[in-house]
Amino acid sequence: MKSKRDLPQECLESNSRAEKIEITLLLEGIFQRYGHDFRGYSYPSINRRIKYRMELEGLTSISYLQRRVLYEPEMMRKLLKDFSINVTEMFRDPEFYSSFRKRVVPLLHSYPFIRIWHAGCSTGEEAYSMAILLYEEGLYKKSKIYATDMNMDVLEKAEKGIFSFEKMKQYTSNYQKTGGLHAFSEYYTADQYGVKFKPFLSENIVFARHNLATDSSFNEFNVIICRNVLIYFDKQLQNQVHGLFQESLSRFGILGLGSKESIRFSPYMPCYEEIDAENKLYKKID
């Protein structure tokens, strides 16, 4: 049996085109059947995740996967989990949170009430990180954090606020690098089941389902944090989401992006000024 490297170039290109058609049909079928829209996701990323699920299920073609997804909701649930971006941690990229303390918190002190949207919150670590930061800066009582994700499974985990004890060493190190004011252990209790954050941290957090690809604005916010999500979208969907954020931010509202993301080269770039270019913090000016 010939390997891919033995096939003529025109055969490889033909197979590649056929595979793209299969993926297009799968994503269109998912949208029509379940309402989840992944058609604007980065092709290499979505391709890897599809291949991962096929390997786990022992499927030899994307068409077989499509049939199972369309007729078996449980398979759709599995694929939705594969498509979700769930790489996160407490105070991820500590420099971002340190910059937020120094450059954004002084602005927030002037607001009578603060609304913050964590878009693509995954299992909630960054929302809890923000709650701790706001608490230490005396802002949490007048704040509401809306933490959203398209995946209900991760939202249920986020609401529980229970995490692996093994992660606490890294989380503690991250917290300390942000300029944390207390011992990180003061914010959680530990037992044989894991680490649970203290209830007061979730009092002002609302976890809710929201899909950046299909859902519209649902409030006006003083801060929107969406870090390491846009890198999985193609350019068209990135611009669509930037439009959603621009619509949802109040005047002089703050947008925080991931280290590999930027407002530059977006049609909405003129609407912002940079607060910290290195840590991707922007202020809406229009």
Write the pLDDT tens digit of every residue in 34-73: 988 999 998 998 999 999 999 999 999 999 999 999 999 9
Chain segment 234-267, per-residue pLDDT in tens: 999 999 999 999 999 999 999 999 999 999 889 9
What are the backbone dihedrals phi and psi of residue 137, each rounded to the nearest 5 degrees, phi first?
-95, 10
Which pLDDT score, from 0 to 100, does residue 13 have?
Answer: 59
Which pLDDT score, from 0 to 100, does residue 176 have?
Answer: 96
Residue where a domain stops, chosen among 33, 63, 83 = 83
Number of domains in the chain: 2
Q: Is 92 helix (H, G, I), strand (E, B) or coil?
A: coil
Lowest mean pLDDT among 68-72, 81-85, 95-99: 81-85
Which pLDDT score, from 0 to 100, does residue 146 have?
Answer: 98
Q: Tell if the pTM clears 0.75, that is, is over it.
A: yes
Flag whether pLDDT at 100 surpasses 90: yes
Flag whether pLDDT at 7 surpasses 60: no
Q: Residue 5 — very low, low, confident or very high, per pLDDT cuts 50/70/90?
A: low
Residue at 230 is within a domain: yes
Residues 112 and 19 in one domain: no
Average pLDDT, the chain: 92
Residue where a domain stops, chosen among 51, 83, 115 = 83
Residues 131 and 42 in one domain: no
Which pLDDT score, from 0 to 100, does residue 84 have?
Answer: 79
Domain that holds residue 257: 94-284
- End-to-end alpha carbon distance in the chain: 61
Flag whether pLDDT at 193 surpasses 90: no
Residues 68 and 105 in one domain: no
Flag whether pLDDT at 225 surpasses 60: yes
Residues 55 and 148 in one domain: no
| Range 130-168 burial, b when 16+ CB lie within 10 A, else e | bbbbbbbbebbeebbbbbbbbbeebbebbeebebeeeeb
Which pLDDT score, from 0 to 100, does residue 192 have?
Answer: 82
Element (H, E) at 129: helix 125-136
Residues 147 and 111 in one domain: yes
What CATH number should be reported for the domain holding residue 190? 3.40.50.150
What are the backbone dihedrals phi and psi of residue 249, each rounded to the nearest 5 degrees, phi first?
-85, 140
Which pLDDT score, from 0 to 100, does residue 87 have?
Answer: 73
Lowest mean pLDDT among 12-16, 95-99, 115-119, 242-246: 12-16
Q: Is 110 helix (H, G, I), strand (E, B) or coil?
A: coil
Residues 20 and 106 in one domain: no
Which pLDDT score, from 0 to 100, does residue 10 have?
Answer: 56
Q: Which two tokens stand for residue 98?
A: 């340190």
9-34 helix and 62-71 helix, angle to the nearest 10 degrees:
10
- Is residue 211 packed enough to be buried (19+ CB in 10 Å), middle (13-18) or exposed (0-12)? middle
Q: Residue 229 — very low, low, confident or very high, per pLDDT cuts 50/70/90?
A: very high
Flag whether pLDDT at 173 surpasses 50: yes
Cα–Cα separations (whole angstroms), residue 60 to 8, 10, 113, 162: 22, 22, 54, 38
Greater confidence (147 vs 2) lies with 147
User: Rounded distance, CA 26 to CA 206, Å?
Assistant: 33
Which pLDDT score, from 0 to 100, does residue 91 have?
Answer: 97
Flag whether pLDDT at 20 surpasses 50: yes
Q: Residue 1 — very low, low, confident or very high, per pLDDT cuts 50/70/90?
A: very low
